[in-house]
Structure formats: C-alpha cells, structure tokens
Structure 1
C-alpha cells in the first residue's frame, strides 16, 4: 500500500515530469485529498498537465474526428418501444436515486453516500464551475440572453438548480428519479428558493406535456438515454422554445466504437448503465426542424472521452 505522499510525488514525476517545489506542497496536497483517485484526477486535470499535452494531444483528438466513420445507430422506433426505452432508463435511475443519489449525478467515489458528507463542498463547487462555463457561453453568443423560464432537463439532486434559479425568473426542473427529485425539493426549501417547479417524469408523454420556456439547459443527461429517446427529447423540447429563447445542451455525438440496436438493447442486461450518443447530423436536423439558429458547437469534456459536444441555438425573436 502506497502512502498519499508517495502517490503525489509520483504524480509530479510521471505526469508533470518534475519534482514538487518543496515538502510543504506535498503535505498540503495530501491533507486536501482523500484517495488515490482524487490525487490522479487533480494531476490529470491541472493546467500544467494539459499544457504539457499541447499540440500532440490536440492533434491526436483532431485526427480521431477527421477519420470518423458512419456508425450503426438506430434512432427511430415506435411509440410503444419509445416508452419501453424510457421506462428502462427511468427504473435504472430511480434505483440509483434511492441508493446513491449524489454519485448518480457525478460518478466520483467521493460522492458515494458513505463519503458525501465530507465532500459536499466540492460537489457544490462542481456546479459553480459548470455555471461559469454556461455564463461564458451565453456571453460569447448573445448580447442579451433570455431571463424568463428555464427548463432544466435532468435536475438530479438540485446541484445546478440553485444556481440557475438566480439567473432566471423561474425554473422548471425535471428528472426521472424520485429519490433525486426529493433531495432537490428539500434543497430548494432549505435554501428558501421559491422559483423552482420540480416535476417528476414518469412516462415519455410527460416530456410532450411540459410547458413552453425561454431557456433549455441540459448537461450530462441526454447521454444516459438511448438514441431514439434523445432524438425524441430534442424533437419535442426544442419547438417549445419561445421566440428569442435559447437551447444549451450537451450530448455525445462521435463516441468511438459506439453502436445501438434496439433489439440488442432490449436483450441486454438492464442493470448496466450505458453511455449513449446521437449522431451530430441528427442533432443538427432537430435544431433546424425546430426553426432554431445554431450559434455554437464546441467539443467538451463532460464524458471524459472523445466525442461529446455542447450545442447552443436560438429561436429567432
């Protein structure tokens, strides 16, 4: 068993290719991090390490994208199949919502129920970082972004909801997991936030029954749904944007070696949590069909692997 000091020193030598500045730096890092996973994540996401990757790392990612091939991904199905796909996802996340609600939002071992109390601050800090990216994107793309009703697709335990509530007049926060929704409601009550309307989605038709809105916000949510459900969600929700409204959502589009067959999916182990993707041309088609103007598409790091993108689109006023 290696000590935290030894792992930290190894991180400096292997990942940063240098010795730590002094013993104090190592001691401070050891005191602030609980596990080997946390230490490795600290080094691998540091600015110094990312800058060391530099051009070779960037060009490698570009090369993967340039050589991408058409993937076998079924995106259309019957309404009955759609409901069955949705129900499978709902059951998976409902179970997690009752057993590991925080880990279900961010799959980091620190956020297991056994340790979340010690790491609540970092859990909430992740939402502030997410909001900083959101604010920067809106600032890049719009002079006056909308402030009315925001639909948060996949509110989870309310991690980002409390911050969205300060940016919009009201929030419609939706999720499929009752346990997560319960925690979200409790968090809003505890913080005396009164402009959040929490709604539990129990069937696919509930998506079509949602009201119109001025902002669609969804990060790390669509990817947990099979491609036909992702396409249905986009095709149903994007037209609900009011004139001048904005859609800000993330979804994987080019996951390596990904394929989706409805028949194979129904015959697979339902306990396995899959990471899904929707081809980019289907995302573009949904945006165009809804009459939106695409403002930006950026590669992001939300899945921790190549192929995830954040889309920003606007409905003309």
Structure 2
C-alpha cells in the first residue's frame, strides 16, 4: 500500500469521526457552536456571503461572473454549506467529499429549493470520480489545508483535468500560519503532536491536520496541467491562525 493510500485512509477516518460527532462545527469552526449548536440558517448564510464575494472577485478578474448555466464541482463539500449557495446560482453542483457522515447530514442541511441541483458523491480516491472536461467551475474552500501538500497538489491537477477548456477554478489555500500561539504551534510542532493536543487538550473528536500550500506550488502544477493562474488575493474571512489566499485558475482553451 502506498503512502498516498495511507494518507487518504487516515484522512477519511478523521473526517468520518468529525462528521459523525459534530459536522457543522467541523466544516466551519467558530466559537460557541460546538456540540451541534450551529443555527443552520446562519451556517448557510456564511456560504452565501462567501460565494457572493467569490463571484465578485471572479468578475473583477475576468470581466464575467460564472455562468448561471454552469456545472460546478464543490470539492470537499461537507454538509453542503457552499454547495447550497452554488446551486442557487448555477445549473448543477456535484459535491465530492471523503466523509460519508458529512454527506448524510447534507440531506438535512441543503435547502429543498436547490436540492434537486445538488448531487453528493462519496470518494476517497486521489482521482476525482468525474470524466475529463465535464465541469465549468471547480470551487474548494477550507479543504486543501487539511491534507498533505503532495495530495493537495495532485487534486489541483485533477481540477484542471475535469474542467472544460476555458473553465475556471476558485481554489482557497492556507499559505502560512500567523504569529499567534496556535499559529506558531502549527509552524513548529510535528503534525502528530499537534493532532494529539487537539484531541487531548482542545477536545476535538479527531485531529484537523493543517498543511500550507503556497501560490508557487499551485502555479507549478497548474502550468504543468494545461492551465494558468489568472489572479490571486488575500482572504481574511476565516482567520483561524492562518493566512489564506484565493487563487483563480483557468484551463487553457
């Protein structure tokens, strides 16, 4: 069994545990909402605000918002926080996630008026369960940071494979920890030790591993996979002891 298989197995186990124990909090960590205390309406509103801002950034960079007729891949869709907002603006959303409990909970979270445009797909493979050139937009947020950089880079290459020529991807990465106590802990402690502290000290049901992915790493795989980085910008919306960046990618026509 390869190290990639080992990493995916561990990733799946962690996120199945998190999805079974407290899925909305695990998707969007925020003070005061642990123990299944997220208000679902407020939870979904965070996704709507994010997608509205991302659509504006897309328009500023390309001159156009994503088409309302687009087929979208929401990679790491969780319980459908962003898929719900994406489905309200586009024709169809394929939500891929590694955690079966997360996808199961999405049945109660995704609003009835958009659920017909949302297709949840369970996958723990490094190869996306989609054919080449079948989606118009890839969206991912708060996902790539939770896997080893090599695995995350592989998925960026997969985004280019499944995009139609001229299609775009909006990818969020955590490119460096900040200088807070937790940020320094992420920077200097071995991942296994930090995961142990999350469980034993912070009471997490399973570790939420963090891994930085830089703009330069993304640019390299995008160029090698037949695409280009159109724009990138700081994303201060999440905080969480990391600096985040959103990267807009286009597959070559």
Whether these two folds match at TM > 0.5 is yes
User: Is the 1:254–1:280 Cα contact (8 Å) retained in structure 2?
Assistant: no
DSSP 3-state at the match of 1:253: strand
Aligned to 2:41: 121
Q: Pick the aligned partner of 1:132 from 47, 52, 55.
A: 52
Alpha carbons of structure 1 residues 140 and 312: separation in structure 2 relative to 1, 3 Å = same
State the shift of 1:260 in Å: 9.7
Q: Which residue of 2 aligns with 1:5?
A: none
1:291 aligns with one of 204, 226, 233: 226
Give ranges in structure 2 of 5+ residues lacking alignment: 179-183, 200-205
Q: How far apart in 2 are the matches of 1:173 and 1:158? A: 8
Q: Find the residue that maps to 1:210 and give its secondary structure.
A: coil
Partner deviation per Cα, 1:67-86 (whole Å, 9 max, x = no partner): xxxxxxxxxxxx71111111
The whole-number CA distance in structure 1 between the counterparts of 2:7 and 2:187 is: 16
Once the 2 structures are TM-superposed, how far is the Cα of residue 315 of structure 1 from its aligned partner? 1.8
SS at the partner of 1:308?
A: strand
Tell me the residue number matched to 1:80.
2
1:280 to partner: Cα distance: 2.5
CA-CA distance at 1:244 after TM superposition: 1.5
CA distances 1:166-215 after superposition (whole Å, capped 9, x unpaired): 222211101111111012134347445212111011x324x333233110
Alpha-carbon separation, structure 1, partners of 2:111 and 2:37: 24
Does the CA-based 8 Å contact 2:23-2:36 persist in structure 1? Answer: no
- Calculate the TM-score normalised by the size of structure 2: 0.82
Partners of 1:289 and 1:296 lie apart in 2 by: 17
Distance 1:209 1:120 in 2: 29
Structure of larger gyration radius:
1
Point out where structure 1 has 5 or more consecutive residues left out of the alignment: 1-78
Q: Which has the higher helix share?
A: 1
Take 1:143 and 1:215, find their aligned partners in 2: how far apart are those partners?
16
Residue of structure 2 in register with 1:209 after alignment: 129
Higher strand share: 2
Equivalent pair of 2:84/2:114 in contact (CA under 8 Å): no
* 1:27-38 aligned within 5 A: none
TM-aligned CA distance change 1:283 to 1:149, over 3 Å: same
